[in-house]
């Protein structure tokens, strides 16, 4: 795990600053991603530079130093990640007589040898792993950026500056790009609207105008001769979902469990490759318990496992993790965290995440990463099990609701929606104040008007993708809250054709695989872990596991009302079901009550009406209305407010 940054073109405007000094200034901002080594490569004539920070995991010697040149010096690479099958690739290169005289045993050297023998895209298609890289072709003057299939590793890019100062910037985090003199820090108001809707900014957008995230599964080529980036996918999740649906696994449930266990065992075994101490996060749930069980089955000594506990009822999974660890015989470490210790993380969040990001589970994720880093340098996690094996209740709820809606004519539903929208939420609240007993159960309680308006959006849905988009939106009309804001197209608004041939559940899981998983879950884990120089690995995202999961019929994912049925049956071979069969518990913290209590003054300062008005990004009246209702206990607006607060906290650090 590492970090890199670089540029193509531009002029060095800082007096006395050369290429090396500039690259060092950029990579110093991401030193936590790679505290063990730094390296720089540049070509003055072509105005191209690559900088690297290394967290040494495989081949700790200087033979793993980056940026690294290929054997013929044709390619130079700066790379972040791990190629878990790189020794297999080496054997293939050796067998075909295309291997160089190997200098060491790093996967970086393997990638470069593959680039020379097979080309960049063909090598990446052979690779099993997580990665982001920048590769410069010294012969052609073409820069290639690449990102792994699902998006475990981040990669930002974009042209900045004007005229002779214009430079193509790229790097693992935005702070590295900001350190370049050509960078222009104009906030993308459409991206702010997206953050208010989703609590994250989905790829390809970033918080800054002109800076993009490379989409997962894509390669990008750019040069000074052809300045418009050419982006091409080498792996497509929608295609694989459709292929899996049309070529569904035809074996028995027992055969499916056997195949899944074999794939997961191989994925976990490959991801245990490390020359430094390695462990795993363990919550005691289905996903992390499966990963740890398969690790322990392949380890000659107790696997190091880590969990965080909270004293607040409803937020503590540590006792379940401890029971699973005891059964498997792991070397388990748990830490109970007080509310004040958890809240002390909040000031660090804008710097860790580099752009507004507001999934509250970012706090415990950082804490468990910090705990693990005291003992290990690499930690495996159970992330992505929900998205692959139908673990979220919202999939079942959305599918059921869509079936009921689709049975009613869209025209009638739109008329009903207009009726609900004919009055403001405040008017509905006043009108229904004394009608609670006769209202449908779903519309009882405080703030009925908000629920009616949310229901109107549901009624108008013309596809399951549109329905899901509305249900998972936090601020339903964020463009009305963001001054100058507007709705930007995303996979959730434009991917409906890609869902052809998929049933309701397959559609929802595929949408999450292209949005919530890479842009929320994987961002959360990467930045939290890298913030303490810990490498995180996700065995469920081995693309062979992903493709197999996409081929499984729904009856093997949900059966008799039980989610992740096939995965549970793999886990039951290692852990008694009574230790893991329990209601799903979110990995989060009680933000709502904290905002009414110990975080109130902090939030009040960020949400001050004059401050909001002077900053000019958010409509003060709309934000303050929710803050007032939340403080009064009339409605729990914790998600809406946390999203705004994380934007405000990020904005404060930009000054």
Does residue 260 register a pLDDT over 50? yes
pTM of the model: 0.94
Last residue of a domain, one of 469, 487, 511: 511
Question: Do both 529 and 567 map to the same domain?
Answer: yes
Question: Do both 383 and 400 map to the same domain?
Answer: no
Mean pLDDT across the stretch 83-98?
A: 97
Q: What are the φ/ψ torsions at residue 413 (nearest 5 degrees)?
A: -65, -40
Question: Do both 499 and 541 map to the same domain?
Answer: no
Mean pLDDT across the stretch 340-359?
A: 96
List, for residues 490-500, the tens digit of each pLDDT value. 999 865 788 99
Q: Please state, rounded to an integer, the average pLDDT across all residues of the chain.
A: 92
pLDDT confidence bin for 484, thresholds 50/70/90: very high
Nearest by Cα to 156 from 207, 122, 121: 207
Q: What are the φ/ψ torsions at residue 210 (nearest 5 degrees)?
A: 85, -5
What's residue 655's pLDDT? Answer: 75
Give percent above pLDDT 90 in the chain: 80
Half-sphere exposure of 168 (CA within 13 A, CB side): 22
First-to-last alpha carbon distance for the chain, in angstroms, is 31
Active site residues: 2
Question: Do both 20 and 145 map to the same domain?
Answer: yes
Give percent above pLDDT 70 in the chain: 93
Strand pairing of 304-310 and 278-281?
A: parallel
pLDDT confidence bin for 412, thresholds 50/70/90: confident
Q: Which two tokens stand for residue 123?
A: 């090598």
Distance between CA atoms of residues 173 and 32, nearest Å: 11
List, for residues 541-592, the tens digit of each pLDDT value. 999 999 999 999 999 999 998 999 999 999 999 999 999 998 776 667 899 9
- What's the DSSP call for residue 356? -
Strands annotated E in 353-451: 378-380
Task: Collect all residues with Cβ–Cβ distance below 8 Å to 432 and sequence separation of at least 6.
Answer: 439, 443, 448, 449
Distance between CA atoms of residues 133 and 242, nearest Å: 29
Distance between CA atoms of residues 174 and 181, nearest Å: 14
Last residue of a domain, one of 210, 235, 260: 235
Distance between CA atoms of residues 68 and 75, nearest Å: 8
Task: Collect all residues with Cβ–Cβ distance below 8 Å to 252 and sequence separation of at least 6.
Answer: none
Mean pLDDT across the stretch 309-323?
A: 83
Question: Do both 227 and 135 map to the same domain?
Answer: yes
Mean pLDDT across the stretch 86-105?
A: 96
Does residue 48 register a pLDDT over 90? yes
Give the total residue count for the chain: 655
List, for residues 436-471, the tens digit of each pLDDT value. 555 555 455 556 666 676 677 788 888 888 899 988
Question: Do both 432 and 491 map to the same domain?
Answer: yes
Q: Cβ–Cβ contacts within 10 Å for residue 451, how many?
A: 22
What's residue 450's pLDDT? Answer: 64
What's residue 1's pLDDT? Answer: 67
Q: How many domains does the chain have?
A: 4
- What's the DSSP call for residue 650? H
Question: Do both 76 and 164 map to the same domain?
Answer: yes
What's residue 15's pLDDT? Answer: 45
Instruction: Please check whether residue 140 lies inside any domain of the structure.
Output: yes
Half-sphere exposure of 512 (CA within 13 A, CB side): 24
CB 177 within 8 A of CB 160: yes
Question: Do both 70 and 81 map to the same domain?
Answer: yes
Last residue of a domain, one of 559, 580, 601: 580
Q: Cβ–Cβ contacts within 10 Å for residue 66, how many?
A: 27
Distance between CA atoms of residues 124 and 220, nearest Å: 13
Task: Collect all residues with Cβ–Cβ distance below 8 Å to 305 and sequence separation of at least 6.
Answer: 279, 280, 281, 282, 292, 321, 325, 330, 331, 332, 333
**Which structural domain, as residue segments, surrounds residue 304?**
238-390+517-580
What's residue 27's pLDDT? Answer: 98
What's residue 89's pLDDT? Answer: 98
Does residue 435 register a pLDDT over 50? yes
Question: Do both 250 and 377 map to the same domain?
Answer: yes
Instruction: Please check whether residue 616 lies inside any domain of the structure.
Output: yes
Instruction: Please check whether residue 570 lies inside any domain of the structure.
Output: yes
Does residue 14 register a pLDDT over 50? no
Question: Do both 139 and 247 map to the same domain?
Answer: no
Q: At what angle do helices 253-271 and 286-297 cross, to 10 degrees?
A: 70
Question: Do both 552 and 601 map to the same domain?
Answer: no
Instruction: Please check whether residue 265 lies inside any domain of the structure.
Output: yes
Instruction: Please check whether residue 586 lies inside any domain of the structure.
Output: no
Half-sphere exposure of 556 (CA within 13 A, CB side): 24
CATH code of 316's domain? 3.40.50.620
Question: Do both 331 and 224 map to the same domain?
Answer: no
List, for residues 365-389, the tens digit of each pLDDT value. 999 999 999 999 999 999 999 999 9
């Amino acid at each position: 795990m590492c970090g890199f940054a670089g540029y193509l073109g531009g002029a060095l405007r800082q007096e006395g600053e050369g290429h090396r000094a500039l690259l060092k200034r950029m990579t110093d901002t991401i030193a936590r991603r790679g505290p063990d080594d730094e390296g720089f490569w540049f070509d003055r004539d072509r105005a191209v530079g690559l900088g690297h920070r290394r967290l040494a995991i495989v081949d700790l010697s200087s033979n793993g130093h980056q940026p690294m040149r290929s054997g013929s010096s044709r390619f130079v690479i700066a790379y972040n990640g791990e190629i878990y099958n790189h020794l297999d690739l080496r054997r293939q290169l050796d067998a075909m007589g295309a291997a160089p005289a190997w200098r060491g045993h790093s996967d970086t050297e393997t990638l470069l040898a593959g680039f020379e023998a097979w080309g960049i895209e063909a090598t990446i298609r052979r690779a099993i792993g997580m990665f982001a890289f920048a590769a410069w072709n010294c012969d052609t003057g073409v820069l290639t950026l690449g990102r792994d299939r699902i998006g475990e590793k981040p990669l930002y890019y974009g042209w900045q500056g004007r005229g002779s100062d214009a430079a193509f910037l790229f790097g693992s985090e935005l702070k590295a790009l900001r350190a370049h003199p050509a960078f222009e820090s104009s906030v993308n108001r459409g991206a702010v609207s997206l953050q208010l809707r989703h609590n994250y900014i989905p790829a390809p957008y970033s918080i800054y105008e002109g800076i993009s995230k490379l989409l997962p599964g894509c390669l990008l080529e750019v040069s000074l001769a052809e300045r418009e980036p050419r982006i091409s996918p080498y792996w497509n999740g929608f295609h694989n979902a459709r292929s899996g649906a049309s070529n569904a696994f035809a074996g028995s449930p027992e055969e499916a469990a056997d195949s899944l266990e074999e794939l997961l065992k191989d994925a976990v075994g490959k991801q245990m490759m490390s020359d430094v101490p390695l462990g795993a996060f363990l919550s005691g749930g289905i996903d992390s318990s499966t990963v740890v069980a398969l690790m322990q089955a392949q380890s000659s000594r107790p696997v190091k496992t880590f969990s965080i506990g909270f004293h607040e009822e409803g937020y503590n999974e540590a006792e379940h993790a401890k029971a699973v660890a005891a059964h498997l015989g792991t070397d388990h470490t748990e830490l109970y965290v007080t509310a004040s210790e958890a809240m002390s993380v909040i000031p660090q969040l804008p710097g860790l995440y580099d752009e507004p990001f507001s999934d509250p589970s970012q706090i415990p994720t950082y804490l468990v990463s910090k705990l693990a880093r005291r003992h290990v340098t690499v930690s495996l996690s159970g992330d992505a099990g929900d998205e692959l094996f139908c673990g979220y209740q919202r999939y079942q709820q959305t599918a059921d609701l869509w079936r009921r809606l689709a049975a009613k004519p869209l025209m009638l539903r739109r008329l009903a929606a207009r009726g609900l929208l004919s009055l403001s939420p405040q008017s509905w609240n006043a009108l229904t104040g004394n009608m609670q007993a006769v209202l449908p159960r779903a519309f009882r309680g405080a703030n009925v008007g908000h629920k009616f308006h949310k229901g109107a959006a549901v009624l108008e849905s013309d596809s399951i993708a549109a329905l899901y988009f509305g249900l998972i939106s936090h601020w339903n009309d964020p463009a009305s809250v963001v001054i100058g804001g507007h709705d930007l197209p995303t996979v959730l608004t434009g991917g409906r054709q890609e869902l052809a041939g998929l049933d309701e559940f397959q559609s929802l899981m595929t949408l999450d695989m292209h949005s919530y998983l890479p842009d929320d879950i994987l961002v959360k884990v990467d930045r939290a872990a890298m913030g303490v120089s810990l490498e995180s690995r996700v065995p469920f995202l081995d693309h062979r596991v992903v493709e197999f999961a996409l081929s499984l019929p729904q009856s093997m994912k949900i059966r008799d009302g039980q989610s992740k049925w096939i995965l549970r049956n793999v886990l039951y071979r290692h852990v008694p079901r009574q230790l893991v069969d329990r209601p799903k518990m979110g990995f989060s913290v009680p933000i709502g009550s904290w905002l009414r209590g110990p975080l109130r003054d902090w939030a009040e300062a960020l949400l001050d009406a004059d401050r909001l008005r002077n900053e000019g990004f958010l409509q003060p009246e709309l934000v303050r209305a929710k803050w007032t209702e939340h403080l009064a206990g009339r409605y729990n607006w914790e998600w809406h407010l946390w999203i705004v607060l994380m934007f405000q906290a990020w904005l404060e650090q930009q000054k």
